């Protein structure tokens, strides 16, 4: 194949952030190239988040990637919180003025965006391993990458790193400039897929003395389930019956409820951490998604933050393309970081409120119960949670 030598925007990473940015730029008439280190099959199977905020849904629809999402995704008007054998439902539309979320797996979002990209979009190179970004502080940065057995160089007007925390784009920001704030959690999630119908028609977030549990779903016949486990847990130590018994115990309420059981697959342990890198722009290199920030999954913010980043960035590049103004581009990092830190705060709040720390005292547990009681009893506290969960305005 002929490798492109230059493009306006070089995008490193073919996950949802990179693919959506490419789609938005293509619709604005801005040429770009996407370099993805993995093959297409791997990218389309990569399991990640499945909760889409209202703003994310709106962006996917607007760029032509919403048809299957609207047909197969599951619209949700709330979640249920469980603690101390009590259950309380949050009605999102009533608390937020009509906003809701949609359950649609990241694997499916990626499949939809790849199909659009290959049908009529700019170049998408699978198996293209980015080695380094050079010239970030010049007018002509470049991406050095390996593809089909050869070293290649792609010069760009701008480089966008959608290649995760360990990607080369983040390393292009000099250490003297880069500030990274991190937080680690003393527990992980054991995530599984179950060939079983969902145990409830909406997501259940369950706090218990035994640890946290989340009851989610992928389709009306496939459930996605999570258990809080110690860091370093081996999934092989958790046979199916043990997982189901623990889910049932942690989700227990005063009333006739049991999870719908079925065969489990795709067991994996997911570490929990928070991280923010500032600034999100250095010269002509810009960071988006996990390259700039990571959130624990409790708040369902990872994919949605990435969508917000590239939506802001696409508008800034469109303004530059149409008018020559760099105003929005110059404000990109500050604009995104305001939303990022709000999402980090919400995700940390959900995580520390619902999980049970290994050394947790009875005092700490009573504080958690008090917070959950307030959410159930106060419309203002419930609205604060609902507004953050369904998503703040993209801009």
Vertex 106, ends 105 and 111: CA angle to 5°? 105
Task: Say if CB 313 and CB 288 are below 8 A apart.
Answer: yes
How many C-beta atoms lie closer than 10 Å to residue 239's C-beta?
12
Vertex 80, ends 77 and 84: CA angle to 5°? 165
The DSSP line for 58-110 is HHHHHTT--HHHHHHSEEE-EEEEEETTEEEEEEHHHHHTS--EEE--HHHHH
End-to-end CA distance of the chain: 39
Vertex 213, ends 77 and 209: CA angle to 5°? 125
Please report, for residues 12, 45, 174, the alpha-carbon distance to residue 137 in angstroms, rounded to integers and kept in the order given.
18, 36, 10
- CA–CA dist 395, 318 (Å, integer): 15
Task: Say if CB 281 and CB 333 are below 8 A apart.
Answer: yes
Active-site residue set? 76, 205, 297, 301, 389
Longest dimension (CA), the chain: 65
C-alpha torsion 145→148→152→154, nearest 10: -70
What tokens does 303 get?
């994919």
């Amino acid at each position: 194949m002929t490798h492109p030598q230059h493009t306006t925007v070089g995008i490193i990473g073919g996950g949802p952030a990179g693919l959506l940015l490419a789609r938005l730029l293509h619709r604005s008439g801005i040429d770009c190239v996407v370099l993805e280190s993995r093959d297409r099959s791997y990218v389309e199977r990569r399991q990640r988040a499945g909760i889409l905020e209202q703003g994310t849904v709106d962006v996917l629809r607007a760029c032509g990637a919403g048809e299957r999402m609207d047909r197969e995704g599951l619209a949700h008007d709330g979640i249920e919180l469980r603690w101390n054998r009590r259950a309380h439902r949050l009605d999102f539309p009533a608390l937020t003025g009509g906003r809701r979320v949609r359950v649609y797996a990241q694997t499916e979002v990626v499949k939809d965006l790849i199909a659009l990209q290959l049908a009529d979009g700019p170049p998408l190179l699978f198996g293209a391993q980015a080695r380094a970004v050079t010239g970030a502080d010049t007018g002509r940065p470049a991406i050095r990458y390996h593809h089909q057995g050869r070293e290649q160089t792609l010069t760009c007007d701008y480089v966008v790193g959608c290649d995760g925390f360990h990607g080369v784009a983040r390393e292009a920001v000099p250490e003297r400039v880069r500030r990274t704030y991190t937080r680690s959690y003393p527990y992980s999630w054991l995530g599984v897929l179950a060939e079983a119908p969902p145990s409830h028609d909406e997501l259940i977030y369950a706090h218990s003395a035994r640890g946290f549990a989340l009851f989610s779903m992928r389709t009306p016949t496939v459930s996605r389930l999570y258990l809080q486990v110690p860091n370093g847990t081996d999934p092989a130590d958790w046979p199916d019956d043990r997982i189901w018994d623990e889910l049932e115990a942690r989700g227990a309420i005063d009333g006739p409820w049991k999870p719908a059981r079925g065969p489990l697959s795709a067991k994996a342990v997911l570490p929990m951490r928070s991280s923010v890198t500032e600034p999100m722009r250095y010269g002509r290199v810009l960071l988006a998604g996990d390259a700039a920030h990571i959130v624990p999954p409790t708040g369902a913010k990872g994919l949605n933050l990435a969508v917000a980043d590239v939506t802001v960035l696409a508008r800034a590049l469109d303004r530059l393309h149409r008018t020559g103004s760099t105003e929005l581009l110059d404000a990109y990092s500050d604009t995104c970081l305001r939303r990022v830190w709000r999402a980090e705060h919400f995700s940390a709040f959900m995580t520390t409120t619902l999980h049970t720390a290994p050394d947790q005292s009875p005092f700490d547990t009573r504080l958690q119960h008090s917070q959950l009681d307030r959410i159930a009893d106060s419309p203002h506290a419930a609205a604060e949670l609902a507004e953050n969960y369904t998503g703040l305005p993209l801009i």
